[in-house]
Amino acid sequence: MNYKKIKRHTLPLLAAFIIGIGVLVIDGQTSVNSVKPNAAEIGFAQDMSVHHQQAIEMSFLVRETSNDPDILGFAFDIINTQAAQRGMMLGWLDLWEQPFTTTQQPMMWMMEDMSMTDHQQMMNDFTPSAYMQGMATSEEMNTLTKFNGLDAEQLFLELMIRHHKSGVMMAEGVIKRSDNETVVRLAQAMINGQEAEIDYMKGLLLRY
Amino acid sequence: MKLFISITVLAILLLIGSSLWSKNTKEKAWVQNITGVVSTIVTDRNHVQTKVNYDSTPSVGGDHHPVWLGCNGDVYEEPVVEENAVHSLEHGAVWITYQPSITGEQFTMLDDKMAGYSFLSPYPEQDSPIMLTAWGVQLSVDSANDPRIDQFLTKYRQGPQTPEPGATCNAIPGGM
């Protein structure tokens, strides 16, 4: 192979390559199905969908026993919103061809590069025996199942406040580690929504 | 030289092919620009049981009542409570309001547009015959024939401005 021949091949190939890149840049946007997800985005979608599922379960439990219109309405809202958001995240995993569940330890995707102080803070704030930080333990879920009326409402609010706090933390965790606009938009909506709900629940708790 | 030409031709064909392919795919509804839409940044969104003073008529968002109005194409014949309607905006609904003086034909056209994540009610105090409101965005039109109505519905029902993606427009069972 002589030098001239390589040069003859290289020029048009380079041109084709540049045109190809140009098409990708013009056409492509960093939305959910056009880029490869990173470990944090996959981990967030997997963990947050488990996390959302428990909020749905707790809301169904309190609706079985409560007669308070505010609690009934609020739980109905959580069930619908979090079930739909769960579906959005599972939809990402589907498009990414990633498993819906993982054998990895929950939240590893945000703990690996976490500072010691942040890690300590997280351990202090949430129950370590829960499957995931901030989630209710199986004992707490059993208690919520047994409780009736006002007791169930109060426990529901306490557990859901803790649950939402860790949800906010997890959403902040993925925003730090993602530039996928679809993922970041939903995570930011979760932060805004769940922070507002924490305030609302704190107000409701004053009745008990 | 022959090789150069053939590869260049191939590259051009690929480029044309890919642009044709792009035209075949659906336009991104969220980036469509709609003339006349007024955007407002809304920061307050707490649940309150009191009357709220909103900056615009109808309101484009803010604090609201814990109970939202059914907004799965619900048609309200009387003016609704604004604090409930704003909660529906938070859930991603487009609220179409009209001056009661519009013709029956105009009303029927709006009524026909009702589907998921939208609701319709009269609003005597508003400035335009017909107004469309979603969280943080508003459009005034003179006629139900205006093509921007469908554009607005397409872009903003559970659109990118929605504070609670996935939230429901089903009313709370039992009317509470």
- For residue B97, tell me if it sits in a domain: yes
Asked whether residue A61 carries a pLDDT value surpassing 80, the answer given is yes
Q: Per-residue pLDDT tens for B44-72?
A: 999 999 999 999 999 999 999 999 999 99
Q: Has residue B173 been placed in a domain? A: no
Nearest CA in chain B to A203: B47
B43 touches chain A (CB under 8 A): no
pLDDT for B76 equals 98
Q: Which residue of B has its CA nearest to A20?
A: B15
The answer to whether residues B55 and B22 belong to one domain is no
Residues B26 and B91 in one domain: no
Q: Do B166 and A9 touch (CB under 8 A)?
A: no
Could you say which residues from 13 to 32 on chain A have a Cβ atom under 8 Å away from some Cβ of chain B? 13, 15-16, 19-20, 23, 27
User: Which residues of chain A lie closer than 8 angstroms to B162, CB-CB?
Assistant: 189
Label residue A111 left, alpha or beta by phi (over 0 means left) and psi (-120 to 50 means alpha).
alpha
* Mean pLDDT computed over A116-131: 74
Q: Is residue B83 part of a domain?
A: yes
Q: Is residue B16 part of a domain?
A: yes
Nearest chain A CA: its distance from B108 CA (Å): 31
Residue B175 within any structural domain of the chain: no
A113-117, A196-200, A201-205: least confidently modelled range: A113-117
In a domain, B75, yes or no: yes
Same domain, B47 and B3: no
> Which residues on A lie below 8 Å from B84 (Cβ)?
none
| Same domain assignment for residues B21 and B98 | no
Q: Which residue has the higher pLDDT, B4 or A208?
A: A208
Q: pLDDT digit string (tens) for A151-190? A: 999 999 999 999 999 999 999 999 999 999 999 999 999 9
Contact B174 A72 (CB under 8 A): yes
For residue A119, the distance in angstroms to the closest alpha carbon of chain B comes to 29
- Predicted confidence at residue A34, as pLDDT, reads 64
Task: Provide the pLDDT for residue A71.
Answer: 97
Structural domain that includes position B22: 1-31
Q: Quick one: B145 and B66 in the same domain?
A: yes
B21 and B101 housed in the same domain:
no
Tell me if B94 is assigned to some domain: yes
| Yes or no, beta carbons of A16 and B11 under 8 Å apart | yes
Give the mean model confidence (pLDDT) for residues B133-149: 97
pLDDT > 70? residue B17: no
Backbone angles phi, psi at B139, to 5 degrees: -135, 130
CATH of the domain at B91: 3.40.30
How sure is the predictor about A35, in pLDDT bands with cuts at 50, 70 and 90?
Answer: confident
Q: Is residue B170 part of a domain?
A: no
For residue A19, pLDDT beyond 60: no
Residues B111 and B24 in one domain: no
Q: Residues B58, B122: one domain? A: yes
Instruction: Tell me which chain A residue has its CA closest to the CA of residue B11.
Output: A16
State whether B53 and B98 are in the same domain: yes
Domain count of the fold of chain B: 2
Q: Is B70 on the interface with A (CB under 8 A)?
A: no
Q: What is the DSSP string of chain A?
A: --HHHHHHHHHHHHHHHHHHHHHHHHH--SSTTTS---HHHHHHHHHHHHHHHHHHHHHHHHHHH---HHHHHHHHHHHHHHHHHHHHHHHHHHHHT--SS-SSPTTHHHHTT--HHHHHHHHHHS-TTSSSTTSPPHHHHHHHHH--HHHHHHHHHHHHHHHHHHHHHHHHHHHHH---HHHHHHHHHHHHHHHHHHHHHHHHHTT-
**pLDDT tens track for A62-97:** 999 999 999 999 999 999 999 999 999 999 999 999
Q: Is the CB of A88 less than 8 angstroms away from the CB of B166?
A: yes
Shared-domain flag, residues B25 and B56: no
pTM of the model: 0.82
Tell which A residues from 80 to 119 touch B, by Cβ distance under 8 Å.
Answer: 80-85, 87-88
Q: Chain A residues with CB inside 8 Å of B47's CB?
A: 196, 200, 203
| A123 confidence band (pLDDT: 50, 70, 90) | confident
Residues B8 and B71 in one domain: no
Same domain as B128, residue B44: yes
